[in-house]
Structure 1
């Protein structure tokens, strides 16, 4: 077992940021939910020894959530050694759960799950949860005994463990660990729902410019032109604008596609192309916003909100979009 990392004796205040169950959109600024904690730096080569110390000392539970895990069938490989520590923890009676991202641009979702180490974990009784491949989960998170949190930039790859510069922090805080575990549980809930279930949207009537519903207004023209997807997008983006408190903001094209209920079978590039097409309709034909595209993955939008009276629009008017 490795030596215990040098946790600072002084108590500091750590921010456990508020989160959304399906954070496809940026949240409005809120006061952080502060918790007390002891912390130690676990950057660079200290990460591996900190992870080993935590896993070897685990008594009740180990929860790991990773964006990228690359092991080997060579037991000397550093990632293989960490996975063996997880196997040994499970053999001691510790509950071990591993969450893995499966969305990569260079391989099919199931390829990342077919590794020798992961097969060993499954055989040992480790609970392996693959995030749905329609959403990227970029975690590098280890939680032990609902008390210790090791988090930062390190994936479980030989480069991250032995070569790269990686910033990581080890935190001793049951309150922070609880918040992280609640977040993982919340994220895992939609895993059994259809992958194209929209994630965000208004739940109460929303005030939109009355001019949009006038005879030649933007919403009226979209309805007349049977531009159903553009109609939904306009209301969804307007709701997001109100939540952010600004008429201009960035949107994630793939997240917007999911919220619009685009087919889960579409790849990322197809989804982005369809969303770009809809945004161009809103910009060039409906003329309700300006749009600029950044590297094909994000878009900057700026609303052109007409002055004057507003009209309450019920969520049902979106036409069957299953807002949650």
Structure 2
């Protein structure tokens, strides 16, 4: 929990009061292109907190596309950090999938942290350049990004 809270606090820390945010509702498949555009436009940093990031599908899967966008951000000199859920229990599916995705992310130059196994972090957020924030129900899985009914909000 400490890593999750620290990164969320750092990502949302503003140097000065900001004007009121504009909120955009992102239903179902509207979420992914909005997040990808924000990552592609990042200049300084991208911070992701994700309960489940399942990038074990084919190269054309939606989660693998997000890995590619994060990789490209790193190549542009953007600092990219991802905090994922883990669990100390052997065979726990979420932890297994997140650890497998972490290998891909680290190979792409992304900093990956895992929250404490003593407490579940179920949040799903993306913060870009300490200005744009996405928060909602979308995990980064093929099901959530392509098939499920999900709802998230973009705050700018």
Query: TM-score band (shorter)?
Result: 0.7 to 0.9
Does structure 1 retain, via aligned residues, the 8 Å contact 2:54–2:98? no
87, 91, 97: which one aligns with 1:112: 97
Measure the CA separation in 1 of the matches of 2:96 and 2:126: 23
Which is higher, the Rg of structure 1 or of structure 2?
A: 1
Does the C-alpha gap of structure 1 residues 110 and 68 become closer, same or farther in structure 2, counting only changes over 3 Å?
closer
Q: How does 1:268-283 map to 2 (within 5 A)?
A: none
Higher RCO (C-alpha 8 Å, min separation 6): 2
Unmatched tracts of structure 1, length 5 or more = 1-20, 22-34, 173-324
Q: How many residues align?
A: 138
51, 58, 61: which one aligns with 2:35: 51
Q: How does 1:1-324 map to 2 (within 5 A)?
A: 36-103=20-87, 107=92, 111-115=96-100, 117-172=101-156
Shift of 1:104: 8.3
Does structure 2 retain, via aligned residues, the 8 Å contact 1:55–1:89? yes
Does the C-alpha gap of structure 1 residues 38 and 109 become closer, same or farther in structure 2, counting only changes over 3 Å?
closer
Does structure 2 retain, via aligned residues, the 8 Å contact 1:99–1:131? yes
1:68-117 Cα distance to aligned partner (Å, 9 max, x none): 111125210110011111011001100000000113876177523432x4
1:91-144 Cα distance to aligned partner (Å, 9 max, x none): 1100000000113876177523432x4323212321100011110001110000
